């Protein structure tokens, strides 16, 4: 079977949480498929998406400028080959790019989304995270036969290779003392402006809890040079009132040392989920990290500093408008305030729970306030355990990547069966999930539109 799978995606979170687990299943289920990752323009891009996608996933990658050139001219870059038959899979970015690629290639388009679907006529099938999204789409009159609930892809991306105890030993962390992970995100602006502020929180928390151990799991999209810039350049440090840090290397590890002498161990990207797993508490910015922590059942304090809202990245048309000289920063502040008024919660677990399960500190933030809230949680192990158990229930494993691949093959078979020259097709039996999947939460019947 000559099958091209053209995956559109954009930022670090989508590649790590969505693309990676899907590609793993595709490699096992359809080893002969040609996988091409088409990166699309994104204000959150780290600049390392192509490198990471190629290295980690072994896929052919089109840079954003190459994707746009192909859309506008129909000319592919020399390293990309497309057969006549294939499918476009949307795993991040503006859905317009995926629909446009479907038009350019004449491939059917399948969209996985956590948001409201767009382009309902042009998309063959929408794959949704949960039943709530299904109901929202039906209210918007998206045809039922195009809607399928498959679960959260992110759950299958989170798989530590070691037990918590083994990981602590490997990282030289004391077993009896609390471990706090600091997560400044993977998007460049977040990393640059928040890392030094995280160091300030560590200094404040160590005053309250001297035995605390700190780690900073390094994203594969964040080079060490960027962390160094974040903790040494005053233009980033001063924005949130952070503190400078010194990068120190020894034989077995790398750390950032704060002015008070606290060591924050930088855990390499290959150990990301092991590092999250050993945490007694995490202090994190909103984003994919909050969902990954929920999968592992790790309590967290979620921080969204708005001391300088104009430095926050915005998606879509809003992001473009905020680049207008002079008016841009003012417009950005207004847009962010409007977005936050519409958004009850900024963290994924609280959005799923529809209540304040984990603390969120949003606005003009102060490092001492965050340290005190963290200290309260660390001093209450029973409450942390209750939070952890609830977090796990919010992120059930429905084996979403397997379901997604099954839907891809169905759409591919249906689409090309209608055309005069369908490609040869051999049915592939995919592994079945051991847990209920694609189920209606009230009746227990399968939801397939």
User: What's the rounded Cα separation, in Å, for the pair 353 and 290?
Assistant: 13
Closest CA to 263 of 308, 218, 203, 220: 203
User: What's the rounded Cα separation, in Å, for the pair 212 and 279?
Assistant: 11
| pTM for this predicted structure | 0.84
- Kind of pairing, strands 4-9 and 213-217? unpaired
**Looking at residue 192, what DSSP letter applies?**
H
DSSP letters, 40-93, are: ---TT--S-HHHHHHHHH--EEE-HHHHHHHHHH-PPPTT----S-EEEEE-SS
User: What's the rounded Cα separation, in Å, for the pair 45 and 48?
Assistant: 8
User: What's the rounded Cα separation, in Å, for the pair 363 and 373?
Assistant: 15
pLDDT of 327 reads 65
User: What's the rounded Cα separation, in Å, for the pair 443 and 304?
Assistant: 38
Distance set, CA 402 to CA 35, 88, 132 (Å): 16, 17, 21
pLDDT of 432 reads 45
User: What's the rounded Cα separation, in Å, for the pair 333 and 325?
Assistant: 14
pLDDT of 187 reads 85
Give pLDDT tens digits for 342-395. 778 999 999 999 999 999 999 889 999 999 999 999 999 999 999 999 999 999
pLDDT of 423 reads 40
pLDDT of 247 reads 96
Alpha helices in 258-308 (DSSP H): 272-277, 288-296
User: What's the CA angle centered on 147, arms 141 and 148, to 5 degrees?
Assistant: 155
Are residues 51 and 85 in contact, defined by beta-carbon separation less than 8 angstroms? no
Top-level class of domain 164-394: alpha beta
Q: Which residues contact 143 (CB under 8 A, 6 or more apart)?
A: 120, 449
3-state SS class at 36 = strand
Are residues 242 and 200 in contact, defined by beta-carbon separation less than 8 angstroms? yes
User: What's the CA angle centered on 195, arms 190 and 198, to 5 degrees?
Assistant: 120
User: What's the rounded Cα separation, in Å, for the pair 251 and 296?
Assistant: 30
CB atoms near residue 440 (< 10 Å): 13
In the CATH hierarchy, which fold is given to the domain comprising 4-151+397-417? Rossmann fold (3.40.50)
Closest CA to 222 of 93, 92, 91, 44: 44
Delimit the domains of the chain by residue range. 4-151+397-417, 164-394
Are residues 80 and 69 in contact, defined by beta-carbon separation less than 8 angstroms? no
3-state SS class at 154 = helix
Distance set, CA 304 to CA 88, 163, 194, 312, 443 (Å): 34, 31, 10, 10, 38
User: What's the rounded Cα separation, in Å, for the pair 95 and 113?
Assistant: 9
Local confidence pLDDT in tens for the 449 residues of the chain: 578 999 999 878 888 889 999 999 999 998 888 999 999 987 667 677 777 777 767 789 999 999 999 999 999 999 998 888 999 999 998 999 999 999 999 999 999 998 888 898 999 999 999 888 899 999 889 999 999 999 999 999 998 999 999 999 999 999 999 999 999 988 888 999 999 999 999 999 999 999 999 999 999 889 999 999 999 999 999 999 999 999 999 888 999 999 999 999 999 998 999 999 999 999 999 988 999 999 999 999 999 998 776 666 655 545 555 555 656 666 666 766 666 677 789 999 999 999 999 999 998 899 999 999 999 999 999 999 999 999 999 999 999 999 999 999 999 999 988 665 444 333 344 444 433 344 443 333 345 44
């Amino acid at each position: 079977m000559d099958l091209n799978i053209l995956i559109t995606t954009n930022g670090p979170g989508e590649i790590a949480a969505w693309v990676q687990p899907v590609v793993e299943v595709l490699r096992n289920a359809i080893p002969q498929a040609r996988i091409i990752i088409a990166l699309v323009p994104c204000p959150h891009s780290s600049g390392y998406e192509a490198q990471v996608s190629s290295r980690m996933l072994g896929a052919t990658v089109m840079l954003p400028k190459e994707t746009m050139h192909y859309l506008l001219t129909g000319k592919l870059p020399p390293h990309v080959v497309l057969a006549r038959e294939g499918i476009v899979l949307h795993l991040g970015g503006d859905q317009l790019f995926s629909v446009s690629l479907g038009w350019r290639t004449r491939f059917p388009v399948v969209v996985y989304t956590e948001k409201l679907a767009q382009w309902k006529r042009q998309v063959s099938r929408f794959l949704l995270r949960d039943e709530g999204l299904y109901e929202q789409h039906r209210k918007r009159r998206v045809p039922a036969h195009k809607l399928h609930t498959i679960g959260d892809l992110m759950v299958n991306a989170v798989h530590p290779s070691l037990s918590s105890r083994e990981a602590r030993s490997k990282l030289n962390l004391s077993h009896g003392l609390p471990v706090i992970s600091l997560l400044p995100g993977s998007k460049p602006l977040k990393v640059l402006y928040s890392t030094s502020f995280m160091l300030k929180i560590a200094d404040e928390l160590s005053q309250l809890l001297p035995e605390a151990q700190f780690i900073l799991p390094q994203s594969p999209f964040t080079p060490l040079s960027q962390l160094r810039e974040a903790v040494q350049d005053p233009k980033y440090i001063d924005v949130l009132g952070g503190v400078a840090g010194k990068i120190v290397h020894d034989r077995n590890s790398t750390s950032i040392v704060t002015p008070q002498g606290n060591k924050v161990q930088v855990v390499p990207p290959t150990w990301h989920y092991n590092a999250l797993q050993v945490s007694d508490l995490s202090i994190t910015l909103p984003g994919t990290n909050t969902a990954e922590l929920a999968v592992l059942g790790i309590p967290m304090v979620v921080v969204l500093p708005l001391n300088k809202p104009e430095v926050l990245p915005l998606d879509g048309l809003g992001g473009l408008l905020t680049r207008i000289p002079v008016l841009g920063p003012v417009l950005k502040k207004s847009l962010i305030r409007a977005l936050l008024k519409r958004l009850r919660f900024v963290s994924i677990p609280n959005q799923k729970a529809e209540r304040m399960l984990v603390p969120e500190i949003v606005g003009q933030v102060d490092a001492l306030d965050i340290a005190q809230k963290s200290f309260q949680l660390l001093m209450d192990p029973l409450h942390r355990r209750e939070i952890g158990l609830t977090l796990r229930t919010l992120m059930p494993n429905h084996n979403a990547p397997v379901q997604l691949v099954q839907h891809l093959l169905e759409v591919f078979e249906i689409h090309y069966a209608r055309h005069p020259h369908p490609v040869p097709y051999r049915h592939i039996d995919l592994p079945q999930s051991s847990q209920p999947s694609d189920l209606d939460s009230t009746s227990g019947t399968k939801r397939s539109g």
